[in-house]
């Protein structure tokens, strides 16, 4: 859902470890290092304070060589981006974003892929079809989606459309989902924890695929001197896998549509349910927009959304799939016995639940007690969407004690969440053609393509990945994340 690189819902505490770097000492400078024939990447001082007890790694043998190699890699990386379409709009250019094809700059990227243990990688891949299936099952339970009324105005409008579809008993035989489930590795529990599940306009399958290719190419060229193996970067076909799922959806729709519909007036729905735009029948509606209140400046947009939903066109996502991806539903699904309402296989349920970060309401006295004892392991969040600041540490303890005394409705205004402790690494980042090193944390998104037609599941696969790496700086409350870069995965045996 989020198209902003720096968006991250959960808060987290930084633990330092070393980024993908040489497993063995670098060779002496003389034999491998190319001369500094190109502009050296500007080396910034670290902008983030290391957490207490953590010191930056001492320079080892071959550091000078590595610096020369990294400097050469920066130029290669930036040029590779330019000639392979790994570019974004440059915010400093006023025409960028208003005129197509102008004001381009290479996408911000990490220079090296992020280390990621193979075991967690496999776990994340295994979860993709389970989450796909879960989204589908939940989407069919209209009552469940409608139950949780206590939401923001925007979600309330979505629920309104959903309610109208329930009223006319609208069925979606062909259901297409292009999802992305985002995870972080929690160093405290040594587990893979879900951050969020995106079911609408899941971003960056294209750029994500390209970053993996960029890193693969850099390691083919420089892997030897860096002690890194390009084969440890998993292949990433996110863009083509999503395109394939879209194409198959189109085929399913047109195979099912027996006769050519009579073309009605523009923007009307035919008696057979088909939607006609520009004299053509719409088979698949892909929502590149529509997930933010800004996308609905007037009632006309809501009317259009309703029209699409009423039609027989395949919606990616349908209003139901869209709602399943809301924060509210994520919270509901994390409650005890809720997964069991949708899935039968106990192993699948256990795998999904294992990836949920803890999420408790304050009527759970045992958890409240734990949180007062160990406030650093929790985050206290206001229940209302988008409202208020999260509460940590001493403040969390004090607030809980106060709320316990008050009891009553004020307890319902908050929710307790498990605090995630991602490890931080020192990472060379490239932005605007310039490289600098900073402390970062990474978030892995696994794309999942899903297509079914009634009982026939046609696509249900993990479909590539997206690694996003964010500059992190610890602060009193937790971690403030700065700008983010696109990244890929380097599988390790840890």
**Sequence ranges of the binding site:** 180, 196, 198, 327, 381-390, 392, 417-420, 443, 468, 470, 476
d(CA 251, CA 242): 14
Residue 126 in contact with its own copies, rule: CB under 8 A? no
Give, in order, the Cα–Cα distances in Å from 301 to each of 297, 338, 388: 7, 34, 29
Written as six digits, the tokens of 279 are: 């004299």
d(CA 365, CA 87): 51
Among 279, 297, 336, 386, interactor with its own copies by CB under 8 A? 279
Site mask for its own copies (CB under 8 A), range 334-373, x = bound: ----------------------------------------
Residue with tokens 């989407």: 139
Q: ∠9-11-15 over CA atoms, to 5°?
A: 135
Among 82, 359, 403, 480, interactor with its own copies by CB under 8 A? 82
d(CA 384, CA 373): 25
d(CA 20, CA 491): 10
What angle, 0 to 180 degrees and rounded to 10, lies between the N-to-C axes of helices 238-256 and 205-226? 150
Residue 167 in contact with its own copies, rule: CB under 8 A? no
Site mask for its own copies (CB under 8 A), range 432-461, x = bound: xxx---------------------------
Active site residue 402: no
- The SS3 call for residue 72 is helix
Nearer to its own copies, 277 or 350 (CB): 277
Among 24, 45, 53, 100, interactor with its own copies by CB under 8 A? 100
d(CA 343, CA 352): 10
Instruction: Provide the sign of the torsion angle of the four alpha carbons 376, 123, 466, 288, taken in this order.
Output: negative
Q: Could you tell me which of 42, 35, 46, 90 has the C-alpha nearest to residue 68?
A: 35
Catalytic residue among 365, 386, 405, 408: 386
107 burial level (CB within 10 Å; 0-12, 13-18, 19+): buried
Residue 300 in contact with its own copies, rule: CB under 8 A? no
| Residue list for the binding site for Mg(2+) | 196, 198, 385
Site mask for its own copies (CB under 8 A), range 196-235, x = bound: ----------x-----------------------------
Among 14, 78, 269, 466, interactor with its own copies by CB under 8 A? 78
Name the minimum Å distance from CB 14 to its own copies. Answer: 29
Residue 53 in contact with its own copies, rule: CB under 8 A? no
d(CA 452, CA 460): 8
Catalytic residue among 110, 187, 198, 355: 198
Q: Which residues bind its own copies (CB under 8 A)?
A: 30-35, 39, 74-75, 77-79, 81-85, 87, 90, 93, 95, 98-106, 206, 278-279, 430, 432-434
Active site residues: 180, 196, 198, 203, 327, 381, 385-386, 468
């Amino acid at each position: 859902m989020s198209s902003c690189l720096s968006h991250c819902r959960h808060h987290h505490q930084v633990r330092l470890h070393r980024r993908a770097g040489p497993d063995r000492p670098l060779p002496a400078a003389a034999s491998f290092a190319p001369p500094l024939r190109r502009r050296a990447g500007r080396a910034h001082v670290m902008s983030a304070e290391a957490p207490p007890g953590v010191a930056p790694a001492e320079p080892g043998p071959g550091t000078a060589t590595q610096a020369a190699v990294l400097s050469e890699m920066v130029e290669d990386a930036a040029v590779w981006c330019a000639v392979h379409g790994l570019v974004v709009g440059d915010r400093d250019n006023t025409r960028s974003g208003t005129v197509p094809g102008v004001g381009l700059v290479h996408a911000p990227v990490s220079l090296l892929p992020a280390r990621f243990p193979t075991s967690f990688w496999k776990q994340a891949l295994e979860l993709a079809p389970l989450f796909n299936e879960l989204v589908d099952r939940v989407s069919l339970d209209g009552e469940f989606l409608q139950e949780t009324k206590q939401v923001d105005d925007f979600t309330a409008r979505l629920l309104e459309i959903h309610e109208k579809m329930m009223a006319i008993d609208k069925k979606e035989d062909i259901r297409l989902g292009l999802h992305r489930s985002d995870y972080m590795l929690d160093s405290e529990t040594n587990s893979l924890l879900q951050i969020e599940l995106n079911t609408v306009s899941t971003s960056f399958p294209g750029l994500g695929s390209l970053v993996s290719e960029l890193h693969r190419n850099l390691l083919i060229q420089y892997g030897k001197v860096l002690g890194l193996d390009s084969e440890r970067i998993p292949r990433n076909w996110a863009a083509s896998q999503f395109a394939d799922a879209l194409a198959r959806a189109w085929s399913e729709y047109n195979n099912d549509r027996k006769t050519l519909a009579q073309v009605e007036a523009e923007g009307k729905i035919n008696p057979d349910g088909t939607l006609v735009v520009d004299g053509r029948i719409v088979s698949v509606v892909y929502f590149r927009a529509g997930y933010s209140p800004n996308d609905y400046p007037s009632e006309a947009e809501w009317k259009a959304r309703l029209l699409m939903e009423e039609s027989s066109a395949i919606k990616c996502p349908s209003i139901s799939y869209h709602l399943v991806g809301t924060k509210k539903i994520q919270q509901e699904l994390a409650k005890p016995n809720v997964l069991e309402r949708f899935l039968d296989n106990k192993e699948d349920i256990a795998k999904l639940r294992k990836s949920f970060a803890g999420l408790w309401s304050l009527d759970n006295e045992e958890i409240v007690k734990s949180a007062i004892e160990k406030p650093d392991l929790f985050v206290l969040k206001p229940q209302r969407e988008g409202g208020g600041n999260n509460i940590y540490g001493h403040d969390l303890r004090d607030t809980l004690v106060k709320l316990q005394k008050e009891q009553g409705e004020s307890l319902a205004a908050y929710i307790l969440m498990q605090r995630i402790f991602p490890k931080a690494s020192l990472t060379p980042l490239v932005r605007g053609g310039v490289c600098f090193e900073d402390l970062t944390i990474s978030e892995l998104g696994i794309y999942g393509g899903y297509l079914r037609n009634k009982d026939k599941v046609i696509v249900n696969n993990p479909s590539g990945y997206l690694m996003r790496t964010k500059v992190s700086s610890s602060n009193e409350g937790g971690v403030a994340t700065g700008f983010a870069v696109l990244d890929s995965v380097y599988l390790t045996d840890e």
